[in-house]
């Protein structure tokens, strides 16, 4: 009888230990899942901040300012006749949107963020410098030059929608309850 009681206690303790082990594993997996989710959210926020930061660049602002004055579809020859600054601006705009396109393609930067942040500008700049880009590809024997910029623009044009100021004209911005806004 004593042996049955101690066998029973040992069996119960073994079952409890097994149950606690399983609960610990489930808790660890759950915690890990939350940590991975948090990491992904932080990475996405970091990427978003980086994308926004790239648009605060004085160099990019100058490049866009120069290029926006050009007619759509300007040839490489005519763009180059405008001066070295124009071709340098085209390269800067191209490499900026090339990077964004690759980040979107890889799922590092959300397409919706890039679309809202720079979609219109990417498409307008593409319209301006597309023939120049094609000429550079031919001159360099490099058909992949600006490939992700082109891919990004094609995606943006496929989902073209109303500008935010029209789409959200009746929507008010988020205002936390504890902040009192003037007006």
Confidence at residue 51, expressed as pLDDT on a 0 to 100 scale: 67
**What CA–CA distance (Å, rounded) separates 146 from 61?**
20
Q: Which residues contact 82 (CB under 8 A, 6 or more apart)?
A: 66, 70
pLDDT tens-place string over residues 9-56: 878 888 888 888 888 888 888 888 888 888 877 877 777 677 667 667
Cα angle 43, 48, 49 (rounded to 5 degrees) comes to: 100
* pTM attached to this predicted model: 0.70
């Amino acid at each position: 009888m004593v042996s049955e009681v101690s066998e029973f206690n040992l069996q119960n303790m073994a079952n409890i230990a097994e149950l606690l082990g399983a609960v610990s594993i489930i808790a660890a997996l759950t915690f890990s899942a939350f940590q991975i989710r948090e990491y992904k959210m932080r990475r996405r926020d970091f990427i978003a901040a980086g994308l926004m930061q790239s648009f605060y660049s004085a160099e990019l602002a100058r490049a866009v300012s120069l290029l926006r004055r050009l007619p759509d579809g300007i040839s490489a020859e005519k763009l180059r006749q405008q001066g070295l600054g124009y071709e340098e601006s085209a390269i800067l705009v191209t490499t900026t949107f090339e990077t964004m396109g690759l980040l979107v393609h890889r799922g590092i930067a959300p397409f919706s963020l890039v679309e809202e942040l720079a979609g219109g500008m990417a498409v307008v700049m593409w319209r301006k410098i597309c023939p120049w880009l094609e000429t550079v590809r031919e001159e360099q024997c490099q058909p992949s030059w600006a490939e992700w910029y082109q891919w990004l623009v094609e995606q943006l044009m496929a989902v073209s929608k109303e500008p935010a100021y029209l789409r959200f004209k009746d929507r008010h911005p988020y205002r936390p309850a504890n902040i009192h806004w003037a007006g």
